Amino acid sequence: MYHFLTSSCSSFQNESPSLFIAILILSMVVGFYLLTKGGDLLSDHSSNIAQAIGIPSVVVGLTIVSIATSAPELFTSIAAINSGAKGLILGNIIGSNIANIGLILGLSLLISPIDTRNAVPFSQVVLLLILSLFFVGYLYFHPTHSLSLHPGALLLIFIFAYLFFLTISALKNRTQKNNKDTAEETKESTSPIFLSCIMIFVATAALWAGSDSLVFGAKNLASLVGIPQELIGFTLLAIGTSLPELAASISLTKKGEFGMLLGNIVGSNMFNIGLVGGVAGVLGPITVSTQYPWIDYLSLLLLTGILAYWLMGKQLKKSHGIQLLIIYLTASIVTWIYNS
């Protein structure tokens, strides 16, 4: 699809630059919409199938929902590799993780205070910290400053091992009562498995088309205005591909499902690095291209550290949300000033 868009619009670039820019902006808007809808459909119908075959809700929340909300980043990264816009990938991964904490959790706290006591197992928080440190440390200290086959394979091994042990642990700890409740809820609320399977294919198609459309607009817009691709990935793409997390988080906040909300943020950030970063490294290499990448790395580690500290049982209020939004806005402005 990317090549179709390129061939269809190439004539406009020279004949009508203003029309070409309008097409690029429209392409990004359509891409954002398809990614958001595709992520929502994938999350909802994957959950339906999981419940229908008896998978506990805790496993659904920590695995399927997190993977589904990270699907836009994954599809966008694959599209970026196929189109030669590899600079978008690292910016998208780092920017999405920063947006999940600074923007999405920040906005959620403006809606309602959140009690983090026993919300997320501390082991998951530690894993997120270790994964973030490994990811940033490798990119910063390795001589090539790139994500290639071997670190990408390590990231994929980590995330699949995490999924395996998390699922095994949850299956062992479930109770008979939870099984009965799940079965009753399944009969009442889940749609037919066949319909959900069809909708998953529809969601996948929407994610594929949306990612190609978004990458086409972002790559060409960055080239026209002379902005590094990583910077576009850090801001515009990161916000766009984080829309499923934003929609899910606002819904969960209004329902008071704070454990699921925080678990989704932690899980999505791990999948962004482990799954998206792993796939990008294996298909790469992906090289850092900005002049001061340490600004983005520091922002990621700072917000991840703040999240880890707060998840040790802190009662989060609106003021904490304002702090996160200020940090997110400051990080975005500073990286635009120094890396553009």
- The residue type found at 29 is V
Please give the residue range of the domain that contains residue 179. 2-339
Q: Single out the residue of 126, 94, 134 nearest to residue 235, CA to CA.
A: 94
Angle at 242 between CA 55 and CA 92, to 5 degrees: 115
The answer to whether residues 174 and 57 touch, using CB atoms and an 8 Å cutoff, is no
pLDDT value at position 308?
A: 94
- Provide block-wise average pLDDT over 10 residues at a time, the chain (340 residues): 53 66 84 77 70 60 67 78 78 91 93 87 90 94 90 94 81 55 48 77 78 76 75 78 73 77 87 92 85 92 95 92 96 88
CATH number, residue 300: 1.20.1420.30
Q: Is the peptide bond before 228 cis (omega within 30 degrees of 0)?
A: no
Tell me whether residue 126 is exposed, middle or buried, using C-beta atoms within 10 angstroms of its C-beta: 0 to 12, 13 to 18, 19 or more: exposed
pLDDT value at position 43?
A: 66
pLDDT value at position 176?
A: 45
pLDDT value at position 92?
A: 85
Cβ count within 10 A of residue 78: 20
pLDDT value at position 8?
A: 56
pLDDT value at position 156?
A: 95
What DSSP element (H or E) covers 115?
A: strand 114-115
pLDDT value at position 88?
A: 79
**% helix / strand / coil in the chain, to the nearest 5?**
85, 0, 15
Q: Single out the residue of 77, 161, 130, 93 nearest to residue 304, CA to CA.
A: 130
Count of domains forming the chain: 1
pLDDT value at position 186?
A: 45
User: Distances from the Cα of 171 to the Cαs of 15, 94, 121, 285, in angstroms?
Assistant: 61, 32, 16, 37
